[in-house]
Chains A and B, each alone.
Chain A
Amino acid sequence: MDLQIIWFVLIAVLFIGYFFLEGFDFGVGILMPFVSKDETDRRVTINTIGPFWDANEVWLITAGGAMFAAFPHWYATLFSGFYLPLLLILLALIVRAVGFEFRSKLHHTWWRKTADHFIFWGSAVPAFLWGVAFTNIVMGLPIGSDMNFTGALLELLNPYALLGGVASLLLFTLHGAIFLSLRTTDELCERVEKVAKWLWLPVGIVLLIFAVSGYRYTVLFDEFGIIPGTLPMIAIVSFVAVYLFIRINRNGWAFAATGSTIVFGSIVVFQGLFPLVMPSTISEEYHLTIYNASSSDLTLTIMSVLALIFIPIILAYQGWSYWVFKERVTRDAIPKD
């Protein structure tokens, strides 16, 4: 197999890992103001992701670094082309991290309220913009002969891309609600379960419209035809299963099912894109592909060896940290100050 194919897969894995993991902690940040009745609830909510959110974010940093190393042209075109969306994502991730980390340090109401805004917007904005960004990639962008984005930044905010943003925002919120139902207790837990049940249908409708319109607006389904095939079917079945599992109170399974929806939905995106990485709407000649955007074989070989050694180790210790903090966060665990 070509090294380029291995690296396309690895970068897909890194982004998908990022969406799966940070997906639920975005959801938790988005839901925090709405499911909490009081200050203690808010703190319980934040502490459900306390030891995890930072390591979840490293999946993005790794995806960015790996893209830089394996496909420099993909990295360069994407990051310079998506200048303002990425700026917003950066600002959001900054204020979000600071919101988590600094919030409980002081007792002033204004301080904590500000941190709450940071956490909410810092979670909602990237959850939305990653959807917008990836939708734009699969729609194709005006990329010129020198591999650079030639369009206007506002074109990125076209209706279909915005719909993609709403879809990712809602799906991550649902994922977060179900995560919260696994990590909280008593009334708070009941409230998030209700939210999850209530959210399922609107999320489903948006995802459906998004997927069906994808036939018209994106390069994804060019090869598929009407019947979508195995991978999209798994994504769809997973999403239906989410509802059934919530109904029979199997929240662990429901979490696995929203996770599976995110994972297989993203796989469909990457698979549909393959072997392109940034389709050009100007001319087929200007498509960025895994071949013309990639690094040299030597670089890819070295990176492959390193990735194959370290990714399993990372999964092991990150998994271990989830196991260490497997207990639910109770209201009693929050100091009274």
Chain B
Amino acid sequence: MEALELARWQFGITTVYHFIFVPLTLGLSILVAILQTFYYKTGDLHYKRLTKYFGKLFVIIFTLGIVTGIVQEFQFGMNWSEYSRFVGDIFGIPLAIEALTAFFIESTFLGLWIFGWTRLSKPVHLACIWLVAIASNLSAVWILMANSWMQVPVGYELVGGRAELADFVAILMNERLLVQMPHTILGGFITGGMFVLGMSGWMILRNKDPEIFLKSAKIALVFTAVASLLTATTGHDQAQDTVQSQPMKMAAMEGLWDTEEPASFSLFAIIDQEERTSKREIRLPYMLSVLAHNNLTAEVRGLNELQAEMEEKHGPGDYMPPVAIIYWSFRIMVGLGMIFIFVSFYGLWLWWKNKLGTRNRFHKVAVSMIFFTFVANTAGWIVAEMGRQPWVVYELLLTADGVSPSVYSSSIWISMAAFGLVYGLLAAAAFYLVWYFGKQGAPEETEGVEKNLHTY
């Protein structure tokens, strides 16, 4: 394989892996903070035990988020030096701000939180976990600002072969950021919420302090129900933005080869990119026009027309992203999103009917949802990132032009093998630890005795 292909695979693998842990920490940090707030307000030891139970799992997951995150920051320079030179003037700002305003807070206050149970006053200690939760989510805002700019470049001018900052406010207020940020963060909330719901369900199924875990299940249900609804609406906003700002990505998401007016929505298709056709298609008339433009008859542009337009603008070349992957990833994400809404509202209904503690089948489903949140997150990012191809910065820089010219494919093979091995072992260790500590149930707590979360 060429260095370019290898670098792309490496970026894909390390990013997908990193993003297993990140969304979980976004939601779980807030839920741990909420649980501790309940403990602080009520003094009920049940909430303290839940805080420690989920706190322990949070720290395991958080650790993997950190270590895989450093790789991300270094990787831009290592594998994508030309990209870095092109975007650094703009892309570097949110990265540096992320470190200054989020990573320092997270790392310092997480240390204070873990080891501070015995040393800090209760309100200060509670503030520590809230700072961790807020900073984690703040870091997502900054990195999404960087990503949004790659999707929809704004506020720049091209000077001497690179993009230079012209208007910082435009980048802060990038329309893509305003739709992508809530959608991604809310997806993280679903992930955290489903994790708490699923782990609580597992404990209820095992009859391990079910009365305690019913409390966390209820909090998680409310949290997830709200988050899953909002994820759907913000996702819709984002798709409508994509119609305008990245029509090629939208056409690939819908497997729409030819421009239609009114446009129908594809439910199923076998996509043949070579021949530029879809077989065995099932289409719902008018639906895509409605989804894309809130209008029964509006035009939605197809891949072929957009390809011709890109060629006219940027010269000959293949400007279509891999359609089948994007089409199906999008459907997987949306389908799972619907399931998350259904599961969380069904849980609320069971709670309303006072059956939440006894309906074992629901808790089994909740456990499986933990896995599916990761599938949905990954599918969503595959749509966002592969849908932008062949561009790394949309319509400004081709991915092929961003790779490091001085790095040989042998170096990337070495790093790929090393990351593969280390990441594989880490995944096994983390999965085992989450299972091991998950199975143990909520740790015992005695009134008036403070213990730290753990000792190294």
Contacts and interface: CB of A to CB of B under 8 A. Distances in A.
Interface of A: 43, 46-47, 50-52, 54-55, 57-58, 60-62, 64-73, 75-81, 83-84, 86-87, 90-91, 93-95, 97-98, 100-106, 146-150, 153, 295-296, 298-299, 302-303, 306-307, 310-311, 314, 317-318, 321, 324-325, 333-335
B59 A101 contact: yes
Top 8 A-B pairs, shortest CB-CB distance: A72-B88, A79-B77, A69-B92, A51-B111, A80-B81, A68-B92, A76-B81, A62-B99
**Secondary structure call for the A interface:** helix
Given A83-B407, A147-B85, A295-B92, A68 B114 contact: no
A71 to B, nearest CB: 8
B455 A335 contact: yes
Given A52-B111, A79-B78, A325-B119, A72 B92 contact: yes
A61 B106 CA distance: 13
Given A62-B104, A69-B92, A86-B74, A47 B406 contact: no
Given A78-B77, A91-B418, A65 B405 contact: no
B78 A93 contact: no
Nearest to B88: A72
B165 A66 contact: no
A87 B103 contact: no
**Most chain A beta-carbon neighbours within 10 Å: one of B64, B85, B120, B415:** B85
Contacts of A67: 92
Interface string B414-428: 110011001000100
Given A46-B456, A55-B111, A325-B115, A83 B411 contact: yes
Given A58-B99, A102-B433, A324 B116 contact: yes
A90 B436 CA distance: 28
Given A65-B95, A321-B111, A76 B66 contact: no
Given A72-B84, A76-B88, A303-B93, A105 B112 contact: no
B417 to A, nearest CB: 11
Interface string B49-85: 0000000000110011011111101101111011011
Nearest to B429: A102
B159 interface: yes
B422 A310 contact: no
Given A97-B63, A98-B429, A79 B92 contact: no
Given A55-B107, A68-B92, A79-B78, A90 B71 contact: yes
21 contacts: A51-B115, A54-B111, A57-B70, A61-B73, A65-B98, A65-B100, A72-B89, A72-B92, A76-B77, A80-B78, A90-B70, A94-B68, A97-B66, A295-B164, A296-B165, A298-B165, A298-B166, A299-B93, A307-B100, A311-B100, A333-B455
Given A61-B70, A68-B76, A299-B89, A55 B104 contact: yes
Contacts of B103: 58, 61-62
A62 B96 contact: yes
Contact of A90 (B60, B74, B405, B414): B74
A320 to B, nearest CB: 8
A306 B454 CA distance: 35
A103 to B, nearest CB: 6
A55 B411 contact: no
